[in-house]
Amino acid sequence: MGNLWTAYKKRVKRRRLLYRALRKRHQMERVVNRTAQIQRGDILLFSTVRNELIRLPYFLEHYRKLGVKHFLFVDNDSNDGTARYLQEQPDVSLWSTAHSYKLSRFGVDWLTWLQVRYGHGHWCLSVDADEILVYPYCDERPLPALTDWLDGQSIVAFGALMLDMYPKGPMDAEIYQPGTDPFKILRWFDAGNYRFQMQQALQSQWVQGGVRERVFFADQPDRAPTLNKIPLVKWNRRFAYNSSTHSILPPRLNRAFDLTGTDLPRGVLLHSKFLHVVAEKAREEKQRQEHFANSRLYDDYYDSLSNSPDLWCRDSVEYKGWQQLESLKLLSKGRWI
């Protein structure tokens, strides 16, 4: 009886989230809509952005090379030229809003509506501008090779661990040039200090740890950022992300992420947060109070980032590629060969 009641509550919550997205669609204004270009079988990418002009050239190049055919962006009141840049891209559709990022469930409500409207039946990537997906064989097999295999196995979701990448030395010591590979600067990561707990109701592994917990949340690890994500989904208009892309409803889709060993393939999202602009962004985020549910609890975190600390330690590992991540069990080929 307990399982039936839990399933019912999750079903009700999913419907409520879809209704939220339906209402929040009125907060967005269409800037340019090129979705008529979308063809059957195209892989789509959805993202909410704010002041990400520095990252977007590399971001778009990376995902175009992987096989993304169309990008659907929501610009949240950027003032650095992000919207103008995206508007000029021939494979981008763009919406804008000045409404609260926090009150839209950190942009998820806006993207959910776009996924319902345009993503049904497509493999859809949902990632931030500072998240770069790598997966087994990504250097030789584009995303359609992965999604074709997933389709053949009747698998509709693909999980990934978010891996914080950082430089050696102060974050602002080396200036990143737009369009270049950010991981030539952010070459280091924490390899083994991850912990997880099962959330039975969501059928999900909740992962925390890594460099942000080590440096910023060592005394309060429960407040460390969540690192498990479900970024790639064969979308159905009945689906809804539950907590950012950390979990999704219906809960069975969360089984795609299993850090403890599985026969399913799993990727990694290389996180480029710690470029030289992080200090400026931290000061802005502290003032805006839009990035955490209880933002004031994270003021010390923002203050620390504002000082561009050195995150490197003697246990830091230099990034060498997806094969290295597989050997460290952060990425998995599963049954995909």
d(CA 334, CA 161): 15
Q: Name the pTM for this structure.
A: 0.96
Residue 149 to residues 70, 79, 141, 231, 250, Cα–Cα distance (Å): 21, 41, 11, 17, 22
Is the pLDDT confidence value at 7 over 90? no
Q: pLDDT tens across 98-126, in order?
A: 999 999 999 999 999 999 999 999 999 99
Q: What is the mean pLDDT of residues 26-31?
A: 98
Distance, in Å, from the CA atom of 120 to the CA atom of 210, rounded to the nearest integer, reads: 34
Give the three-class secondary structure for 284: helix
C-alpha closest to that of 234 among 146, 337, 107, 163:
146
Do 62 and 144 meet the contact criterion of CB atoms below 8 Å apart?
no
107: helix, coil or strand?
coil
Q: Token pair for residue 244?
A: 């950012």
Query: CB of 328 within 8 A of CB of 191?
Result: yes
> Residue 300 — very low, low, confident or very high, per pLDDT cuts 50/70/90?
confident
Q: What's the pLDDT band for 243 if we cut at 50, 70, 90?
A: confident
| Helices and strands in the chain: count of H runs, count of E runs | 9, 15
What span, in angstroms and rounded, lies between the C-alpha atoms of 46 and 239? 15
- CB contact at 8 A, 229 and 246: yes
In this prediction, residues 130-149 reach a mean pLDDT of 98
Instruction: State residue 144's pLDDT score.
Output: 98
Higher-confidence position of 57 and 201: 57
pLDDT of 54 above 90: yes
In angstroms, the CA 165 to CA 274 distance is 7
Tokens read off for 62: 């990376």
Q: Is the pLDDT of residue 289 over 70?
A: no
Q: How confident is the model at residue 176 (pLDDT cuts 50, 70, 90)?
A: very high
For 258, left (φ over 0), alpha (ψ -120 to 50), or beta? beta
Tokens of 232: 């790639």
Q: How far apart are the first and last CA of the chain?
A: 41
**Predicted pLDDT of residue 287:** 80
Is 34's pLDDT higher than 60?
yes
CA 123, CA 13: separation in Å to the nearest integer?
A: 23
Q: How confident is the model at residue 297 (pLDDT cuts 50, 70, 90)?
A: low
Band of pLDDT at residue 299, cut at 50, 70 and 90: confident
pLDDT at 264 over 80: yes
In one letter, which amino acid is 242?
N
**Dist CA 114 CA 306 (whole Å):** 34
Is it the case that residue 294 has pLDDT exceeding 60? Answer: no
Is the pLDDT at 8 greater than 70? The verdict is yes
Pairing of strands 131-134, 204-209: unpaired
Q: Work out the mean pLDDT of the chain and round it to a whole number.
A: 94
Q: Compute the average pLDDT of residues 23-35.
A: 98
Mean pLDDT for the stretch of residues 267-296: 82
Residue 265 has pLDDT above 70, yes or no: yes
- The sign one gets for the Cα dihedral 222, 200, 191, 146 is negative
Q: Has domain 2-327 been given CATH number 3.90.550? A: yes
> Which pair of tokens denotes residue 84?
């103008």
pLDDT at 281 over 70: yes
> Looking at the predicted structure, is the pLDDT value of residue 286 above 80?
no
Band of pLDDT at residue 70, cut at 50, 70 and 90: very high
pLDDT(293) > 80: no
Which percentage of the chain shows pLDDT scores above 70?
96
Closest CA to 71 of 229, 101, 80, 57: 57
